[in-house]
Amino acid sequence: MARYTVEMGTRLVLADPTLADLDFEAVTAALALEDIGAVLAKLKQLAPRQLTLMAVEFVPPEQPVALPVPEVEATLTADPLTGALTPPVTTTGNGQAQTAQVKPISQMEPGLRSPQPGLPGTPAPKPVRRSRQRGIGIKRLLGGIALGLAQIAEVANRVLDRLLPAPKGRQSWLNGPIAAGLAIVIPVLVVILVVVMWVSGAEQSEFEVCVGEAQTAAQTTRSIDPTDARGTLEGWNAVLAITETCDDIQSDDPRIRLLQREAQTEVDRRLRVTRVAEDQMFTLETIPNTRLTRLILQGSDLYVLDNANQQAYRIRMDADGLSTQPGVGNPQPIPAMRRSAAISQYTVGDLIDIAWSEDGSGLSQDDVIAAVDSGGLLIDCPPRLLEDCSVQELQGIRNWSQPVAIQFWQGRLYVLDPAANQLWRYDPSGGSFPSAPLEYFTGQTRPDIRNAVDFTIDEDGDVYILFGNGTLIPYRTGEPLNFGFAAFPENRSLGSATRMLLTAPPFTALFFLDQPNRTIYETTLAGTFVGSYRAYDEDLFAQLAGIGVDSNEQLIYVTSGDSVLVFEACNAATC
């Protein structure tokens, strides 16, 4: 092992292997600068983006230092022969030797002593975090191990030097660059290990503290008077916020999962939210690379519109309504309801919407699935033979601006066109719609429906127009009717909406999709709150777009992204 003589001004650099990539002459010049501060500054300039480095300069104790480093006064000196530590000896004025008295710590100047708990003038010690205590213990343990290994290595080196002396004229490999490199790398690895273990211990401690806070918040909330609805709700919301923070530190901890489920259940119960569990939500069908935006339920058939690829599909279900029929080619594309499809002498454009029509007064027959494209083509297909579709060209489309939805009522076709601030009505005659549309809203005081997103028509012909801000306004022959949502839980409202559905009698109800909040709302036709649905895995409702309801079987179908989901309409006691 190589030995080097240390003198005043000797400088030592310890660094990671990146130091070897620097220019040797530049590093040598940097080490020769006036002080160690200048050395560090110059090496920092020479370093690439990342370099771990420590520079050391050896100076005698009495040497004045210009840099801001702490100075202390030695109270013991080492005997040069025995190494024993004794108080320093000074000379008195009459030439006699006198042993210096070591001052007690309590009498030393404040800047020269370490804080001692319990002594006057000493600040109270700060509480040490468990992670810090663990880190200190680990550092001491590894430091002791490293020191022991160093002593063992020193003994082994002396033995090897005696047993395997280097040949004359040649340097022992123990004195070569490999041994020098190991001498630098091993301490660095030990330091890295200490840091990693300390950081992991700190994170674990932080997580445990977070868990404790969540458990305390939950216990406090449980003790709140149940009649204090607002306080209880705020308490459980606070538990949810804390558990979310814990999840960011460490995910999938069972204690946090239990607290989240308890808190979410309590919040849902007070807000009258039915939370659908993962095992009660079924994926009926997935059509890859699609964005399903409209869903029509008719008997055991589902019709969906893929807005991304401008294609309509039929999905045939089993009798239970929870699965698809095998061996029927699900999902089945409807050939004529596709962008660029050729039908008769026409070419289909972008599809605006699809709808079911029981009354075929203006169509090829009753009970058909129909679609309208942006160019005014109206396509209708019978469910028994989807390849045998009919087409007609609607009149007056030059007045259209940007239609978004269609509905049929008693043979009439309605087209919602918010950009034109109008609802267009086509009247049937002789199996077609031969005339230009009529304006549903007339007169000087027409309503502003430019923010409308969807609409429906009840059995009496009243039109319900839904707006993006969650407002619903019913109209009769173009005049608004009195309407208002009622009985919503405190702090709950239909703040936004993207789609609506009116179920058929005798189970008449209104359903609304609030896609931004991943929620399905149900009200009566008069607007009274009935309930709301959310999924425990809220990502399932991240792209809510279409809805259909089987009132007889109490099943709710929704589209979200490229999938059709189904679950049972139930209350909090059964979901």
Q: Is 73 a residue whose pLDDT tops 80?
A: no
CA gyration radius, the chain: 41
C-alpha 213/C-alpha 207 separation (Å) is 10
Please provide the average confidence, as pLDDT, over all residues in the chain: 83
- 274 — pLDDT class (breaks 50, 70, 90): very high
Give the residue from 514, 456, 413 showing the smallest Cα distance to 296: 456
Inform me whether the pLDDT recorded for 88 exceeds 90. no
Q: Which residue has the higher pLDDT, 2 or 116?
A: 2
Report how far residue 208's alpha carbon sits from residue 214's, in angstroms, rounded to the nearest whole number: 10
Task: Answer whether residue 448 shows pLDDT above 50.
Answer: yes
Query: Highest mean pLDDT range out of 43-57, 76-90, 342-356?
Result: 342-356
- Alpha-carbon distances, residue 52 vs 20, 25, 33, 222 (angstroms): 12, 20, 20, 52
Provide the 10 A C-beta neighbour count for residue 550: 19
Choose the weakest-confidence range: 188-197, 275-284, 380-389: 188-197
In this predicted structure, what is the pLDDT of residue 121?
A: 42
Residues facing residue 436 across a β-bridge:
none
Please tell me the distance from the alpha carbon of residue 170 to that of residue 531, in angstroms, as a whole number. 90
CB atoms inside a 10 Å sphere around CB 486:
11
Tokens of 80: 């040069």
| Mean pLDDT calculated for residue range 108-129 | 41
**Angle formed by the axes of helices 24-31 and 36-46, nearest 10°:** 160
Q: Report the run of H or E that residue 565 belongs to, with start and end.
A: strand 563-568
Task: Determine phi and psi for 514, rounding to 5 degrees.
Answer: -110, 85
Residue (of 528, 525, 445) closest to 494 by Cα position: 528
What's at 237, amino acid-wise? N
Helix (H, G, I), strand (E, B) or coil at 571: coil
**What is the identity of the amino acid at 117?**
P
Question: What is the number of other CB atoms lying within 10 angstroms of the CB of residue 328?
Answer: 12
Looking up tokens 């030797």 gives 97
The pLDDT value recorded for residue 112 is 37
Q: In the structure encoding, which two tokens stand for residue 415, read together? A: 């087209």
Query: What is the structure's pLDDT at 111?
Result: 39
Tokens of 200: 């992991």
3-state secondary structure of 398: helix
Nearest to 437 by CA among 468, 401, 389, 466: 401
Structure confidence at residue 47 (pLDDT)? 79
Residue type, 475: Y
* Average pLDDT for 11-20: 84
Q: Name, of 103-112, 490-499, 549-558, the range with top average pLDDT.
A: 549-558
Alpha helices in 434-545 (DSSP H): none
The whole-number pLDDT of residue 493 equals: 87
Q: Which two tokens stand for residue 96?
A: 């006699």
Average pLDDT in the 249-278 region? 92
Q: Give the contacts of 144 (CB within 8 A, at least 6 positions apart).
A: none
pLDDT computed for residue 424 by the predictor: 98
CA-CA-CA-CA torsion for 467, 473, 475, 481, nearest 10 degrees? -170
3-state secondary structure of 112: helix
* The length of the chain, given as a count of residues: 575
Cis previous bond, 506, omega within 30: yes
**Cα dihedral: 116, 120, 122, 127 (round 10):** 80
**Which is more confident, 64 or 126?**
64
Four-residue CA torsion sign, 83, 87, 88, 94: negative
Answer whether residue 108 shows pLDDT above 60.
no
Residue 277 structure tokens: 């569990």
Mean pLDDT of all residues in 494-520: 94
pLDDT at 515 over 70: yes
Q: 166-191 burial string, b = 16+ CB within 10 Å, else e?
A: eeeeeebebeeeeeeeeeeeeeeebe
